Amino acid sequence: MTSIARSAPRRLASFALPSVPGNERIALAQVAETVAGLGLSPARLDKLKTAVAEATMNAIEHGNDSRPELAVTVEVFQLGAEIIVTITDRGGRSDDGAPENSAEIPDLDRKLGGEQDPGGWGLFLIRHMVDAMDITTQDERHTVRLMMRIGSQDTCAGGGLSG
Amino acid sequence: MHVRQVGDRAAVIDIKGDVTAASEPVLMSAYEQADSQGAQRLVLNFGELEYMNSGGIGMLVTFLIRANRHRQELAAFGLSDHYREIFELTRLDEAITIYDDERSALSDAAS
């Protein structure tokens, strides 16, 4: 009997940041440093940095309500040709209240017409920057997982993660 | 941010550093200055932009709403490929004409 073994992801970095607005810049810099040399093109690295910054900002401001005593945890993994970044907050919010579930798809015409708030671009950007993303909630932990394939074309897939 | 009046009808707003929600007072102050000088074409210079996030995009939408109310044209130059792509994704490029450089942005205004 044979089995197909799927190797476990290799953790490249793990760090925690206080939930202070602006700390998303630290997250993007540390993730960029961690994945340097893994084969992402500069353009795709820029996209990953933007997605990490947006997800971390959401975790700080919405998940942890900008409470410095609550940490946002960022982890970077490599699984074959995939780079996976997870951003976890401990805000304990329910899925119903999460901005990614309640937000409308941003539409510039509606925003210019006053039918939508000018903001609300964060999740939209994340989805278009990475090859896949998903969001999970377990107890009080709320995790956004971002995936970029090494060596992929510069396309914005925005699909879901599996596994 | 710095505002440069160019001729009678155009102003260039030089953006330096970050464009985030926190930049709103500074950018809106620049808008007021350009508007008070009678500019009908506002040109955003992103050549020294270091970082822009979703809050900054929202602020640009607010900026655009103000300019539309005053029937002013908006143009931009100096965007990196990454931020140019974000302008395309958000469709900001349909409302803010993007040029490769300042000369092109201003010469188009004059024509």
Averaged over successive runs of 10 residues, the pLDDT of chain B (111 residues) comes to 90 96 93 94 97 96 95 96 97 96 82 50
A156-159: which pairs have CB atoms within 8 A and are 24 or more residues apart?
Answer: A156/A47, A156/A127, A156/A128, A156/A129, A156/A130, A156/B89, A157/A130, A157/A131, A157/A132, A158/A127, A158/A128, A158/A130, A158/A131, A158/A132, A158/A133, A159/A131, A159/A132
Asked if A119's CB is within 8 angstroms of B55's CB, the reply is: yes
Amino acid A4: pLDDT: 54
Amino acid B39: pLDDT: 94
Contact present, B48 and B14 (Cβ < 8 Å): yes
A25 touches chain B (CB under 8 A): yes
**Residue B89: which of A24, A119, A128 has the nearest Cβ?**
A128
User: Nearest 5 degrees, angle CA B47-CA A26-CA A127?
Assistant: 75
Q: What value of ipTM does the predicted structure carry?
A: 0.90
Asked if B53's CB is within 8 angstroms of A118's CB, the reply is: no
Q: Residue B65: in which H helix or E strand, if any?
A: helix B54-69
Q: Chain A: give the shortest CA distance to residue B58, in Å.
A: 4
Report all structural domains of chain B as residue ranges with CATH numbers, in order of start: 2-105 (3.30.750.24)
For A10-149, the fitting CATH number among 3.40.50.300, 3.30.565.10, 3.40.50.10320, 3.40.1280.10 is 3.30.565.10
The mean-pLDDT minimum among A54-68, A148-162, B56-70 falls in A148-162
| Model pLDDT for residues A21-60, shown as the tens digit of each residue | 999 999 999 999 999 999 999 999 999 999 999 999 999 9
| A118 contacts on B by Cβ (under 8 Å) | 58-59, 61-62, 65
pLDDT band for position A97 (50/70/90)? very low
Q: What span, in angstroms and rounded, lies between the C-alpha atoms of A42 and B83?
A: 13
Query: What's the 3-state SS for A126-143?
Result: HHHHCCEEEEEEECCEEE
User: Nearest 5 degrees, angle CA B65-CA A55-CA B83?
Assistant: 50
Q: Residue B4: in which H helix or E strand, if any?
A: strand B2-6
A116 touches chain B (CB under 8 A): no
